[in-house]
A and B are shown apart, each in its own frame.
Chain A
Amino acid sequence: MRFTKKAGVFGATALAAALALTACGQSGSPNGGNASAGPSPEYKVASDVKLDSSPTWTKANKAGKLVIGVKFDQPGLGNKKAGADKPEGFDIEIAKSVAAGLGFKPEQIEFKETVSKNREPFLQNGTVDLVVATYTINDARKKVVDFAGPYYIAGQDLLVKKDSTITGPDDLKGKKVCSVDGSTPAQRITEKYPDAQLVTYDTYSKCVDNLNSGSVDAVTTDDAILRGYAAQSSGALKVVGKPFSQEPYGIGLAKGDTALRTAINDSLEKLESDGTWKKAFEYTLGSSEGITIPKPDRY
């Protein structure tokens, strides 16, 4: 018995040490959303929607709720703070406004976390009705799901400390640049900028921690995600602002549901023309200066 007690004390000490360690690991990570002030935009819920030719809409209408897959770990885009019951960000605003266009009130939306690995499977088996999760439209994905939008053209960019000398991807030679393991931005660095030292972790927040501590010189991924982190850093970090790729973000839906896709594209177009898009962007990601709103691609 004496023995077990001793072991327990040791275990507790180790646990305390480990917790202290993780706590300092997270101290630099952003808390999400609300980069700029102002009230949360409201979206007018359409009341006369009838989309009987869309199986997804019919199912959601019958259930009285729309299930939307979003990310929970990308500040400014789709982020759920610890302890919060709702995620927030630009993707979330787009999701709410599109849902409003389809006749669903905000309280009728169920946000479900999707990660890059399960977006297509979740759409294919109907776990979610829509996916608004920094979802780049590409041909491989178009084979199994349909896309409405794009609602935003992201581009790969660099996040650096405010006094950094890096002004673009060509300055990365010999520099340590961090991204998420296996992601498209990481693969692009390996292929196009082999002189840079790529460091990969499983989350962007680990990369940002490393940038804050000086272990890496830059973090790279889509500019929208980086804007979110820069907005959280109260001026310590900045986005370089020279995107070197094009990532059109679309809204994923089940393959073949053309009626739903047309309806979403219609409401996106309306959103963009009546200024709601801009409001949502400035509410979540900061200044929309110099940003062009893309036209939906009705392929």
Chain B
Amino acid sequence: MDAITSNLGLFASGFWGTIVLSFFTMVGSLIFGTVLAAMRVSPTPVLRAAATTYVNVVRNTPLTLVLFFCAFGLPYLQISFGNTTDQVSFNYAVLALTAYTSCFVCEAIRSGIATVPLGQAEAARSIGLTFTQSLRFIILPQGIRTVVPPLASVIIAMVKNTSIASGFNNKELISAMNGVIELRGDQVPLILAGTAIAYLILSIGLGQIFGLIERKVRIAR
């Protein structure tokens, strides 16, 4: 047990690293995913095609490769954000995770949009709302409410996906775990279990929050 208790500081900083990485990715992918979904249902063929292409390409690429492309491809093209190496790596990781998770957010929201009866869109249009207005005030508010549970799954999967970022110069739970294993090779199974519990705490916590949101925004049909 002392392998964990005597390295709590390391674990705590890793835990915080995972939270920060997940938070920025969550915000980014919810916004970008919604934009993608709006593009996929828009009346403009070019936007539809662009969003469809994007989702199909990125969703079908393994996340490790997406990260590879961001962490090793972008510097090659001399694209980087931030001043220190750590900042640059963090931004690459957020970018890659957002790019990847957005596809799943987009598809979840699009399935929500499909649940809104067609009559709603027709009614919106007949009172003179533009496409953007009907999406913003009529369709999305109803559509998103129905997809809170699948969105929760997408976000929880994303939190666990942040573990891949440790291979690309990011400090999070997995890198903390690697560090502690190096220090305390005598208690490897315990350290692995401790890390799993840390992820469990994060995921269950998130699940609870999404459950709360789900009850809050539920609509009687």
Give the B-binding residues of A (Cβ under 8 A). Answer: 7, 10-11, 13-15, 18, 21-22, 25, 116-121, 138, 140-141, 143-144, 176, 181-184, 186-187, 197, 199-203, 206, 209, 213, 215
Contacts and interface: CB of A to CB of B under 8 A. Distances in A.
Contacts of A121: 188-189
Given A117-B188, A199-B169, A202-B166, A183 B68 contact: no
Contact of A14 (B61, B185, B188): B61
Contacts of B180: 182
Interface residues of B, number: 39
A116 B76 CA distance: 31
B38 to A, nearest CB: 19
Which DSSP category, helix, strand, loop or mixed, fits chain A's interface? helix
B183 A140 contact: yes
A251 B168 CA distance: 31
A22 B76 CA distance: 13
Contacts of A118: 188
Contacts of B182: 116, 182-184, 187
B139 interface: no
Nearest to A202: B167
B185 A181 contact: no
Contact of B168 (A14, A21, A201): A201
Contacts of B181: 116-117, 182
A18 B64 CA distance: 10
A92 B55 CA distance: 47
Interface in B158-214: 166-169, 174-186, 188-189, 192
Contacts of B178: 116-117, 181-183
Interface centre among B89, B182, B184 (most CB of A within 10 A): B182
B117 interface: no
Nearest to A182: B178
Contacts of A117: 178, 181, 188, 192
17 contacts: A7-B52, A7-B60, A10-B56, A10-B57, A21-B73, A116-B181, A120-B186, A121-B188, A181-B166, A181-B174, A181-B175, A182-B178, A182-B181, A182-B182, A199-B169, A202-B166, A203-B167
B75 A215 contact: yes
Given A181-B167, A199-B169, A141 B185 contact: yes
Contacts of B65: 18, 21-22
Nearest to A185: B182
A140 B183 CA distance: 8
A11 B174 CA distance: 30
Counting from the closest, the 9 A-B pairs by CB-CB distance are A182-B178, A202-B167, A182-B179, A14-B57, A144-B186, A7-B56, A143-B186, A18-B65, A141-B185
Contacts of B62: 18
B133 interface: no
B166 A15 contact: no
B166 A144 contact: no
A10 B54 CA distance: 9
A142 to B, nearest CB: 8
A197 B53 contact: no
A117 B190 CA distance: 12
Given A21-B72, A22-B65, A144-B185, A197 B85 contact: yes
Given A18-B69, A21-B72, A181-B178, A140 B169 contact: no
Contacts of B72: 21, 25, 209
Contacts of B60: 7, 11, 14-15
B84 to A, nearest CB: 7
A284 to B, nearest CB: 25
A184 B183 CA distance: 8
Contact of B85 (A116, A143, A176, A202): A176
A201 B57 contact: no
Interface in B50-104: 52-53, 56-58, 60-62, 65, 68-69, 72-73, 75-76, 84-86, 89
Contacts of A14: 57-58, 60-61
Contact of A11 (B56, B177, B186): B56
A13 B53 CA distance: 11
Contact of A21 (B69, B85, B179): B69
Contacts of B75: 215
Contact of A199 (B85, B176, B184): B85
